[in-house]
Structure 1
Amino acid sequence: MFFRLTRRFWLRLVVAAIFLLPLIWLLTAALHPVGRPLPTSLTFSLDLTLQNFRRVWELVPFGRFTLNSLLVVLLAVPLTLITSSWAGFGMAQLPKPSQRRWIVLSLAVLMVPGVALWVTRFLLYTRLGWYDSILALIAPAFMGSSPFFVLMFYRAFRRIPTAIYEAARLEGSGVLASWWQIGLPSARPTAVGVAILSFVLYWGDFVSPLLYLRSESRYTLPIALQLLQQLTLSDWPLLMAGAVLATAVPVGLFLLLQPYFARLGH
């Protein structure tokens, strides 16, 4: 028994090291001295400096870009959860032939490449007056952000027995009450998964700010990294420092949610 636990512990440690290795290399590269080329192999040196992080804040308005990214995810993630769960809940209430048709339609929309929507979205946002505003960045959230999120919620709501919904209707519960009191509590793990995926989607979105924003004051963190690369093409420690700052929020959020993930696992 002890040998089995030890073997499992070492296996988990190896898997964790594999996933943490890129982050460790990213951090050590960000702490590399200025003007010295990055090593071509995995080496560790005590000659580290925080000067690259100071230079990031001096060269670009990194704080402003960070606040813009936080504002985008704080608006887009709740909207995505609401609209995608509504769509998934509505699909789960339909007759089975209608459910199959909507599943096929969702999969077909999911196969459409994002580049095919750039021009259409640009024209639509311009006509609506959303160009060069935060609405252009969070507009997909009003439609669930992705058909994949809708299908995730549909699968979660479909597992709930129909008799429970019918009993709620007999008690006088409406559609929204059934969604809030029956559907969402049962789909809590799915909601957490959709929230994390949508957070990563909007936090790392580079194309939308580049296409639909004109004012530098509204740029987000991916644009900041691009600006750093354009300013100093060969200064990789500076770019790695910006990447560390941009990655700190998602990594910190993941660590904060670890106790919740552990409870879901049990």
Structure 2
Amino acid sequence: MGRSARAPGRPARAARRRPAPDVRRHAITLVLLAFAPPLLLLLSASLRPPGLPPPAAGGLWPEHLSAESYRRAVELGGLGRAALNSLLVCAVAVPVSVLVAAAAGFAMTRLPRRGARLLVLLSLVALMVPGTALLVPRFALYRALHLTDTLVPLMLPALIATSPLYPLVYWVALRGVPADLYDAARLAGLGPVRTWWSVALPAVRPVTIALATFTFVLTWSNVLDPLLYVYDRDRATLPLALRSLATLDPTDHPVFLAGAVLATAPAVAAFALAQWLMRTRYGSPERTPR
């Protein structure tokens, strides 16, 4: 009788909890609606014919759509070559940064508690150091190594995982991996490297996707480092080429905004791809079986 008396209460409690996913969905929709207008304004202004002034109130969407601004942006700003340079930098920096961060985070989980705490403290101290404080030492080092005016200085930060935060994120995630998996790998004769690659990394794939996305966006949109280390136009990255495009004719807003759309689209696509992978490969909280 006791079980039958409690059983009807469970669906009622579950029913009361069901609106929570809807609330989250509505909250996400509101956030998207807040960020959508600037993107729509950017897109609509880039589709105006070149040479036109910014649209007045009430005429946000052009009457005659034109892709001429995109063609002129690519030709005048050299955005095609710059995009290839940015892709090359990201193709090297993103995987190296993720692998270094994952290896460092895994190594921290293998350390004694006192050693791990010390590394966490050092990482937090490194996070507090302003990036601008390292510009002069880094420039002097790259210049002494004859690496200026190349793409190498844009890739080298990946050797330290781009940010001290990334190893900490992996450390927290890998601490949640069940110890039984590591014990099974040890019994199977796997060494530390094989255990890291075959056991630890597959267990934290969502973290890898998230950090890879953030690293790509940060590397793709980096304008300060190319401005300091790259001088030849043929080696310019896309943000640097976009900055040069803005100085050619500051009054030609459609051309500059067309270049901004081309520079923004890959970052938006990266976030969309990461979201799709999260939902299709690993599901969402609403889809988890009861």
Specify if TM > 0.5: yes
Q: Find the counterpart in structure 1 of residue 122 from structure 2.
A: 105
Question: Highest Rg: 1 or 2?
Answer: 2
Kindly provide the amino acid, as one letter, of the partner of residue 167 in structure 2.
Answer: V
Q: Find the counterpart in structure 2 of residue 249 from structure 1.
A: 266
Indicate how the Cα distance of structure 1 residues 217 and 164 shifts in structure 2: closer, same or farther if over 3 A, else same.
same
Q: Find the counterpart in structure 2 of residue 228 from structure 1.
A: 245
- Alignment deviations for residues 141-189 of structure 1 (CA, whole Å, 9 cap, x no partner): 0111111111111111111233432442233211111101111011101
Following TM superposition, by how much is the alpha carbon of 1:214 offset from its aligned partner in structure 2, in angstroms?
2.0
Q: Find the counterpart in structure 2 of residue 164 from structure 1.
A: 181
The normalised TM-score by structure 1 is: 0.91
**SS of the counterpart of 1:44?**
coil
CA RMSD of aligned residues (A): 2.2
Deviates more, 1:142-151 or 1:28-37: 28-37
Deviates more, 1:256-265 or 1:61-70: 256-265
**Equivalent runs, 1:196-207 vs 2, <5 Å:** 196-207=213-224
Deviates more, 1:11-20 or 1:151-160: 11-20
Q: Find the counterpart in structure 1 of residue 276 from structure 2.
A: 259
Task: Tell me if structure 2 keeps the 8 A contact 1:32–1:38.
Answer: no
**Equivalent runs, 1:1-266 vs 2, <5 Å:** 13-41=29-57, 43-263=60-280, 264-266=282-284
CA–CA distance in structure 2, aligned partners of residues 116 and 9 of structure 1: 41
- Alignment deviations for residues 36-69 of structure 1 (CA, whole Å, 9 cap, x no partner): 3213546333233222112112212111001000
Structure 1 regions of 5+ residues with no counterpart? none
Following TM superposition, by how much is the alpha carbon of 1:128 offset from its aligned partner in structure 2, in angstroms?
2.3
Percentage identity across aligned positions? 41
Following TM superposition, by how much is the alpha carbon of 1:8 offset from its aligned partner in structure 2, in angstroms?
7.6
CA–CA distance in structure 1, aligned partners of residues 128 and 24 of structure 2: 39
**SS of the counterpart of 2:84?**
helix
CA–CA distance in structure 1, aligned partners of residues 187 and 25 of structure 2: 51
**SS of the counterpart of 2:162?**
coil
Kindly provide the amino acid, as one letter, of the partner of residue 54 in structure 1.
Answer: R
Following TM superposition, by how much is the alpha carbon of 1:237 offset from its aligned partner in structure 2, in angstroms?
1.8
Kindly provide the amino acid, as one letter, of the partner of residue 151 in structure 1.
Answer: L
Structure 2 regions of 5+ residues with no counterpart? 1-14, 285-290
Alignment: residue pair count:
264
CA–CA distance in structure 1, aligned partners of residues 26 and 38 of structure 2: 20
Following TM superposition, by how much is the alpha carbon of 1:81 offset from its aligned partner in structure 2, in angstroms?
1.1
Indicate how the Cα distance of structure 1 residues 10 and 45 shifts in structure 2: closer, same or farther if over 3 A, else same.
farther
CA–CA distance in structure 1, aligned partners of residues 104 and 69 of structure 2: 46
Task: Tell me if structure 2 keeps the 8 A contact 1:83–1:142.
Answer: yes
- Alignment deviations for residues 208-238 of structure 1 (CA, whole Å, 9 cap, x no partner): 1111112211100011111011111222222
CA–CA distance in structure 2, aligned partners of residues 210 and 261 of structure 1: 35
Task: Tell me if structure 1 keeps the 8 A contact 2:46–2:255.
Answer: yes
**SS of the counterpart of 1:78?**
helix
**SS of the counterpart of 1:254?**
helix
- Alignment deviations for residues 182-216 of structure 1 (CA, whole Å, 9 cap, x no partner): 11011101100110010011100101111111221
Indicate how the Cα distance of structure 1 residues 175 and 225 shifts in structure 2: closer, same or farther if over 3 A, else same.
same
**SS of the counterpart of 1:76?**
helix
The normalised TM-score by structure 2 is: 0.84
**SS of the counterpart of 2:88?**
helix
**SS of the counterpart of 1:120?**
helix
Kindly provide the amino acid, as one letter, of the partner of residue 149 in structure 1.
Answer: Y
